[in-house]
Amino acid sequence: MSETIDAFLKENRTFPPPTEFAKQAWVNNDDPYKRAEDNYEKFWEGFASELHWFKKWSKALEWKPPHAKWFVGGKLNISYNCLDRHLSAHKNKAALIWEGEPGETRTLTYYDLYREVNKFANVLKKFGVKRGDRVSIYLPMIPELPIAMLACTRIGATHSVVFSAFSAQALRDRNQDSQAKVLITADGYYRSGNVEKLKERADLALKESPSVKQVVIVKRMGNAVTMESGRDHWWHELMQEADDYCKPEEMDSEDPLYILYTSGSTGKPKGVLHTTGGYLTGVYATNKWVFDIKDNDTYWCTADIGWVTGHSYIVYGPLANGATSLMYEGSPDYPQKDRFWAIIEKHNVNIFYTAPTAIRTFMKWGAQWPEKRDMSSLRLLGSVGEPINPEAWIWYHETIGKGRCPVVDTWWQTETGSILITPLPGHTILKPGSATKPFPGIAAMVVDEHGKEVPPGTGGYLVITKPWPSMLRTIYGDPDRYVKQYWNKFGGKFYFTGDGAKRDKDGYFWLLGRIDDVINVSGHRISTMEVESALVEHDAVAEAAVVGKNHEIKGQAIVAFVTLGDGYKPSDQLKEGLREKVKEVIGPIAKPDAIIFSDDLPKTRSGKIMRRILQDLAEGRPVGDTTTLRDPGVVERIKQQL
Ligand code: WT7
């Protein structure tokens, strides 16, 4: 097997920052890159100094590979930095604008949020929650979710947010792993106009969560719930009695902040542990520079707070910046397919951050939906979660941004805590499909199997070669797994991201997807992402997922699962057209052996395509676990096409 990945896609379009945008941007020259290059510890100290510390750190970094400590000896409190710090200048500025699925709005000013957080911190204290204790939060996208998170940080408890669409079993496993003392949940929530009975799922999980002694329930829907006396309490009743000031705990910079479970491709979920000072510095800095956040902006990240994107870029990053962060409870197609655009119009959103899978869905729904709405308030667009294919990038730039807004394609992971590879919108010349360059202070490289840097244009493993403030510190309860998973591959020298990438001659990074998703066809290591990107360049294709299937001669053969855009019908002729398209864009080597049309693809609830399932289908194996799928029915529907 060759040691690198063959990278084929060529994308030559470039987009310099619009002059007006560059003029007003936080960064519009390469000074920060130079400063960071000179001394990256000092560079990060600059951002840390913009935050509030009860006691200043004595040393920026203590690096005993693979263990980093940042801002050693410093004392701070996250809720203080996200709330108290802004009360003088921004007391009555909107901190959170929340829109419920049925259309109601709740705006919490910094002062409102401050009061709610203080009160709920006192509720937690009353239940005996202390510094270092774990609290599970199983809430939908309602303001009580960030309130509960910030209340934990106020008293130094470690929160573990469990995505509200996860199953009872997932919640149980996480409660058990973290040994949470308290669970915060809700009676139910809206999803596409239906009531999801959350408390029922929580009750199932609680049967096998012996560490959880107290449960707090937010009344969101008013659906009937069972309350276990002595254990279950209503949020609103507790809040009525709670004092409205709680002194913030002075936390050590390296004290735990939160655990967030992320499913690895194999094995049980990993509890990624983030700590206090470094994490806040990382999300504060990147939210400010990557999204160019200014005092008057309304900023909207569409992720669910159950994912790291929501932790870092709905809650901690924006609030640390004193910004206005919008959160939306429901589905993008409720009551109609223009809901996101209606929200942008209604709230005058300036900065919009979403995922490629959402963008491709919007493309499929058609430009008539955004075109009905006035979105002239937008000035910057962002993308995260997977490689954005140039086709989708251009559509986003043209149809949503009207060619006016830079698009920041931000690469990062749950483990990295904050964005690591990204354009800075007032400075970077954009190339559609490239996450461009490491954020100042971040050192990334593309290497071969032996850890040797590969030449420009060649694909390899993406590694991070220096520690950064918001890096995960360990896997909760499994320190060996931390070392094995992220550091052993390259002898403890580099952080191994698990992603493939190539750099071009200008030093730009092009992400090639997870290394596990690379297919080996006759000795050529082909990134599934590149074949998918070629397929969606065809007018008829809305979305594509590509997997490898065992092949006697070639090693692996390429199988493509394709969803067509509205108005296109499957046919053999179209299959041939798609094969030709791949040949034209990549070369004959990458022509799919089989093409399967399907109305949808198996996706996780965060929108990632589960290629493992498609591979099972392609190879005719029984399909493994489908419980994490957004729509498990899709598997049966694809089977009928085989
Ligand atoms: C994986 C991390 C980080 C927040 C959301 C996902 C992929 C993420 C990009 C991007 C190409 C990307 C990578 C990464 N990914 N952003 N801009 N371009 N790939 O967090 O669930 O921890 O997933 O998502 O494969 O390793 P996560």
Query: Residues 329-382: pLDDT tens digits?
Result: 999 999 999 999 999 999 999 999 999 989 999 998 999 999 999 999 999 999
145 CA distance to ligand 1 middle (Å): 23
Residue nearest to atom 13 of ligand 1 (CA): 386
CA distance 367 to 20: 27
458 CA distance to ligand 1 middle (Å): 21
How many other C-beta atoms can be found within 10 angstroms of the C-beta atom of residue 631?
13
Which atom of ligand 1 lies closest to the CA of 383? 17
How many other C-beta atoms can be found within 10 angstroms of the C-beta atom of residue 59?
12
CA distance 8 to 39: 36
Residue that is written with structure tokens 């294919």 in the block = 389
242 CA distance to ligand 1 middle (Å): 40
pLDDT at 604: 84
pLDDT at 264: 57
Q: In what order do the strands lie in the sheet with 495-503?
A: 444-447, 459-464, 495-503, 509-514
CA distance 152 to 129: 9
pLDDT at 518: 84
DSSP-based three-state secondary structure for 329: coil
Residue nearest to atom 18 of ligand 1 (CA): 387
What's the whole-number average pLDDT of the chain? Answer: 94
How many other C-beta atoms can be found within 10 angstroms of the C-beta atom of residue 47?
18
CATH architecture of 522-639: 2-Layer Sandwich (3.30)
Six-digit token string for 477: 């309860």
Give the mutation target among 511, 512, 605, 611 for probing the ligand 1 site: most ligand atoms within 8 A of CB. Answer: 511
Contact between 499 and 512 (Cβ < 8 Å): yes
**What's the pTM value of the predicted model, to 2 decimals?**
0.91
Residue nearest to atom 5 of ligand 1 (CA): 385
- The mean pLDDT value for 452-460 works out to 95
pLDDT at 584: 85
632 CA distance to ligand 1 middle (Å): 23
Q: Could you tell me the pLDDT band of residue 3, with boundaries at 50, 70 and 90?
A: low
Q: Could you tell me the pLDDT band of residue 167, with boundaries at 50, 70 and 90?
A: confident
- The mean pLDDT value for 498-524 works out to 90
Domain boundaries, the chain: 522-639
The number of C-alpha atoms within 13 Å of 345 and in the hemisphere containing its C-beta is 12
pLDDT at 1: 34
- In this structure, of 46-60, 194-208, 266-280, the range with the lowest mean pLDDT score is 266-280
Torsion sign (Cα): 102, 104, 109, 112: negative
Q: What is the Cα 401 distance to its own chain's centre?
A: 21
How many other C-beta atoms can be found within 10 angstroms of the C-beta atom of residue 243?
12
Q: What angle do CA 124, 126, 128 make, to 5 degrees?
A: 75
φ, ψ at 566 (rounded to 5°): -60, 135
511 CA distance to ligand 1 middle (Å): 10
Give the mutation target among 316, 413, 532 for probing the ligand 1 site: most ligand atoms within 8 A of CB. Answer: 413
Contact between 257 and 274 (Cβ < 8 Å): yes
Give the residues surrounding ligand 1 with Cβ less than 6 Å away. Answer: 262, 308-309, 384-387, 409-414, 435, 497-499, 511, 514
pLDDT at 561: 96
Residue 183: pLDDT over 50: yes
pLDDT at 345: 98
332 CA distance to ligand 1 middle (Å): 21
How many other C-beta atoms can be found within 10 angstroms of the C-beta atom of residue 62?
14
Residue 2: pLDDT over 50: no
Six-digit token string for 586: 């990549």
Helix H or strand E segment including 585: helix 572-585
Residue 46: pLDDT over 80: yes
Which atom of ligand 1 lies closest to the CA of 511? 11
- The mean pLDDT value for 260-267 works out to 70
403 CA distance to ligand 1 middle (Å): 25
Residue nearest to atom 24 of ligand 1 (CA): 385
pLDDT at 172: 95
For residue 341, give the nearest of 401, 279, 292 by alpha carbon: 401
211 CA distance to ligand 1 middle (Å): 33
